[in-house]
Structure 1
């Protein structure tokens, strides 16, 4: 009634068995040609040292690989090569949003310059001066104009994306809106279309 329970197979044994079965199926499909390697030979082939013997060489190789990846990513930001772009910039919808934003004139491109100018003027003009009211009013008018421009852009971009792709990926409209607030020459990935060359 209270007999001994069978011991559960070890995880490694299960993996080995699955690997052997997969190898047997492959041999059956392609033709045997050679004897099936023994379990010890299969385990030895799979074994890799957790810590490399030459740590210096390993670290140097890792640094070189990371550096190469960075160079490729930097080149992709210049050329628009989809393969090496950062994850946030990948995909046909993101590409379309970039091209659409880069093709239009956006007030948001000059928001940072306006803010910098406001800071400089506020340092030069006394806060009690009457002219300071006009400076502050001008800044808020510019800020409101940028907000309206971004709102119109987001509505148009969403409509274009829906017409072309059907369903709009989450974050794509926001991605395009934030790009419109960056100065055109400083945008990354770099613009690949001229002003007025809207994507089809």
Structure 2
């Protein structure tokens, strides 16, 4: 059917249909600046809304960091240029093949010495409180304050390890003397009950002190209280990091 405004060519064919593609040919025609441009099948402008499938997430513009990159950022791997485990293993195999038996022995000896020296430096810095070398559980201003708070006070919990050893020896002796065994069990129960009460008091006191020093902190709670008790239950000389304050100091 020809509409009134459509012109007819000499051969009787509509001029509007001369450049039209057959239906189902797999393409569409866009008109840009008066010219017809073929558009491939399924091509949708990137900025056209509502054309993406459900659950579509736009790209974030960068690659997801690998586990190794995340560990370097967190400080788990302190040398960004260090080789991975597989690379180090392959390198050792290649070195072993390229060395004689004596050379390989010397190399392993130097490697042990270097590892021992590296561990010594790490332990020294950890004992000094360098947070780059501390476990994640010991990092943060709140944990540092709790350590100082515990180290500035005296607690009976500090004697839990020596007390447990003494009670064990008394129990061994009690196998030959039943009267000693019964008395030691009573003393042990009283000691354990006192440690339980003191542990609750230490946890509550540490949380109260942290809330006063750091208002609005999210670190306070059962975990922080248990951290304070575990610190207090260690002999002062064995604590890591080593104490920075003296007993009786104000923190």
TM range (shorter): 0.5 to 0.7
Counterpart in 1 of 2:122? 73
Counterpart in 1 of 2:236? 184
- Report how far residue 83 of structure 1 moved: 2.9
Gaps of 5+ in 2: 1-23, 27-39, 44-58, 64-85, 96-106
Counterpart in 2 of 1:28? none
Q: Say whether the 8 Å CA contact 1:78–1:190 is kept in structure 2.
A: yes
Q: Equivalents in 2 of 1:109, 1:55: separation in Å? A: 48
- Report how far residue 108 of structure 1 moved: 1.1
Q: Equivalents in 2 of 1:177, 1:198: separation in Å? A: 19
- Higher helix fraction: Structure 1 or Structure 2? 1
- Report how far residue 84 of structure 1 moved: 2.6
Across the aligned residues of Structure 1 and Structure 2, the Cα RMSD in angstroms comes to: 3.8
Q: Give me the TM-score of the superposition, normalised by structure 2.
A: 0.53
Higher mean Cα deviation, 188-197 or 75-84? 75-84
- Report how far residue 140 of structure 1 moved: 0.8
Counterpart in 1 of 2:73? none
Structure 2 residue matching 1:82: 3-state secondary structure: coil
Tell which has more relative contact order, 1 or 2 (C-alpha 8 A, sep 6+). Answer: 1
- Larger-gyration structure (1/2): 2
- Report how far residue 117 of structure 1 moved: 0.9
Gaps of 5+ in 1: 8-14, 20-49
Q: Give me the TM-score of the superposition, normalised by structure 1.
A: 0.64
Task: Number of aligned residue pairs: give it.
Answer: 159
Provide closer, same or farther for how the CA distance between residues 6 and 167 of structure 1 changes in structure 2, counting only shifts above 3 A: same
Q: Say whether the 8 Å CA contact 1:162–1:168 is kept in structure 2.
A: no
CA distances 1:64-123 after superposition (whole Å, capped 9, x unpaired): 997776444312222112233222211101100111111111111111111111111111
Provide closer, same or farther for how the CA distance between residues 18 and 79 of structure 1 changes in structure 2, counting only shifts above 3 A: closer
- Report how far residue 51 of structure 1 moved: 5.7
- Report how far residue 127 of structure 1 moved: 6.8
